[in-house]
Structure 1
Amino acid sequence: MKINNKNFQDWTEEDLKVLLHNDAYRENNFIDYKVDFAPFKCEDKNKKKEKQAEFRSDVCSFANADGGYIFYGIGEDAGMAGALVGIVLSNPDRFELDRRNELQAIRPVMPEVEFTFVRLNNEKHVVILHIQRGLYKPYITEEPEGDFHFYIRHGNKKQAMSYTEMQNAFLNAAMLAEDIKSFRKARLNDYKEETAHPFALVHLIPATFKNQSDALSMYDLARNRKLIFESLFNGMVRDRPVPNVDGVYFPNFKYEEYDNEHLQIFNNGTVELRMNLYVYGTNKNDSHLKIERWLNTLEFWEELQKLLDDTAEMYKKLNRAVPMYVCVSIYGCKGLWNDEMDRFGMNAPTKVDRNEIVCAPIEIRNILDDEQLAKGKEDSVRMTKYALGIRK
Structure 2
Amino acid sequence: MTSVLINNKPMSEWTLEELMVLLGDEQWRESATIDYKCEFRASDEGFKKDVCAFANAQGGYLFFGIGEDDGVPVEIAGIENVGLDKFNLAISNALSASIEPSRPAYESHVIPVGENLCVLIVHVFEGVSKPYRVRSEGRFWIRGNAGNEFMSYKTIEDLFLRTNMQKDKLQQIVDSRVGYLQREGALSALEYRQRPMFAAHFIPISVVSEHEKRYPLRDLFGKAGALFVPEGEAFGKLFDCPAAQINMDGLMKLGEERDAPRHIQLFWNGMVEFGTAVLFRQTKEAFFQSTFDPSIVVRLVPEMLGATFDYYRQIQMDEPVYIILSIENAAGWRAVCLKWGIDTVVDRSRLRAYPVRIDDRSAQAVASAAREILDEFGYLIGESDFSRFLGRGAD
TM-score by length of 2: 0.62
Conserved in 1, the CA contact under 8 Å of 2:81 and 2:112?
A: no
Q: Deviations over 1:192-221 (max 9, x none)?
A: 333596334645558x95558xxxxxx9xx
Match of 1:261 in 2: 261
Match of 1:382 in 2: none
- 3-state SS of paired residue (1:95): helix
Match of 2:163 in 1: 173
Q: Deviations over 1:245-288 (max 9, x none)?
A: 999976333x3xx34321448887875335799xxxxxxxxxxx
Question: How many residues were matched structurally?
Answer: 304
Of all paired residues, the percent bearing the same amino acid is: 23
1:119 aligns with 2:112: yes
Q: Deviations over 1:307-338 (max 9, x none)?
A: x432222335669xxx986534459xxxxxx9
Alignment of 1:196-211 (within 5 A): 198-200=193-195, 202=197, 210=204
Aligned match for 1:93, one of 56, 74, 85: 85
Conserved in 1, the CA contact under 8 Å of 2:197 and 2:276?
A: yes
Match of 2:149 in 1: 159
1:377 aligns with 2:381: yes
Q: Compared with structure 1, are the counterparts of its residues 185 and 108 closer, same or farther at alpha carbon in structure 2 (3 Å cutoff)? A: same
Distance, in Å, in 2 between the alignment partners of 1:163 and 1:90 is 41
Distance, in Å, in 2 between the alignment partners of 1:201 and 1:176 is 27
Match of 1:273 in 2: 276
1:130 aligns with 2:117: no
Aligned match for 1:309, one of 287, 290, 295: 295
1:76 aligns with 2:68: yes
Match of 2:33 in 1: 30
Unaligned runs of 5+ in 1: 40-48, 213-218, 278-297, 332-337, 341-356, 380-392
Cα distance, 1:182 vs structure 2: 2.0
Q: Deviations over 1:6-41 (max 9, x none)?
A: 2222112122111111111111111100011045xx
Distance, in Å, in 1 between the alignment partners of 2:65 and 2:279 is 56
Q: Compared with structure 1, are the counterparts of its residues 56 and 273 closer, same or farther at alpha carbon in structure 2 (3 Å cutoff)? A: farther
Aligned amino acid, residue 104 of structure 2 = P
Match of 1:6 in 2: 9
Conserved in 2, the CA contact under 8 Å of 1:204 and 1:326?
A: yes
- 3-state SS of paired residue (1:194): coil
Q: Compared with structure 1, are the counterparts of its residues 178 and 273 closer, same or farther at alpha carbon in structure 2 (3 Å cutoff)? A: farther
The structure having more radius of gyration, on CA atoms, is 1
Alignment of 1:321-332 (within 5 A): 327-330=326-329
Cα distance, 1:179 vs structure 2: 2.8
Cα distance, 1:159 vs structure 2: 1.8
Match of 1:182 in 2: 172
Aligned amino acid, residue 234 of structure 2 = L
Aligned amino acid, residue 310 of structure 1 = I
Farther off after superposition, 91-100 or 234-243: 234-243
Q: Deviations over 1:78-113 (max 9, x none)?
A: 111010011111322221232123222333332221
Farther off after superposition, 73-82 or 7-16: 7-16
Distance, in Å, in 1 between the alignment partners of 2:62 and 2:279 is 50
Distance, in Å, in 2 between the alignment partners of 1:239 and 1:9 is 34
Cα distance, 1:65 vs structure 2: 0.8
1:150 aligns with 2:153: no
Aligned match for 2:50, one of 43, 48, 58: 58
Distance, in Å, in 1 between the alignment partners of 2:250 and 2:100 is 29
- 3-state SS of paired residue (1:27): coil
Distance, in Å, in 2 between the alignment partners of 1:17 and 1:60 is 28
1:361 aligns with 2:352: yes
Aligned amino acid, residue 313 of structure 1 = R
Cα distance, 1:153 vs structure 2: 0.6
Conserved in 2, the CA contact under 8 Å of 1:241 and 1:248?
A: no
Distance, in Å, in 1 between the alignment partners of 2:144 and 2:9 is 26
Distance, in Å, in 1 between the alignment partners of 2:245 and 2:121 is 35
State the superposition RMSD in angstroms: 4.5
Aligned amino acid, residue 309 of structure 1 = S
Alignment of 1:231-310 (within 5 A): 231-233=233-235, 235-238=237-240, 251-253=254-256, 255=257, 258-264=258-264, 271-273=274-276, 301-302=290-291, 305-306=292-293, 308-310=294-296
Q: Compared with structure 1, are the counterparts of its residues 116 and 178 closer, same or farther at alpha carbon in structure 2 (3 Å cutoff)? A: same
Cα distance, 1:358 vs structure 2: 7.3
- 3-state SS of paired residue (1:313): helix
Conserved in 2, the CA contact under 8 Å of 1:239 and 1:250?
A: yes
Distance, in Å, in 2 between the alignment partners of 1:240 and 1:373 is 27
Distance, in Å, in 2 between the alignment partners of 1:339 and 1:62 is 42
Distance, in Å, in 2 between the alignment partners of 1:155 and 1:238 is 50
Q: Deviations over 1:225-258 (max 9, x none)?
A: 99834x11575345559799999976333x3xx3
Q: Deviations over 1:161-218 (max 9, x none)?
A: 1101101110111034313322223313542333596334645558x95558xxxxxx
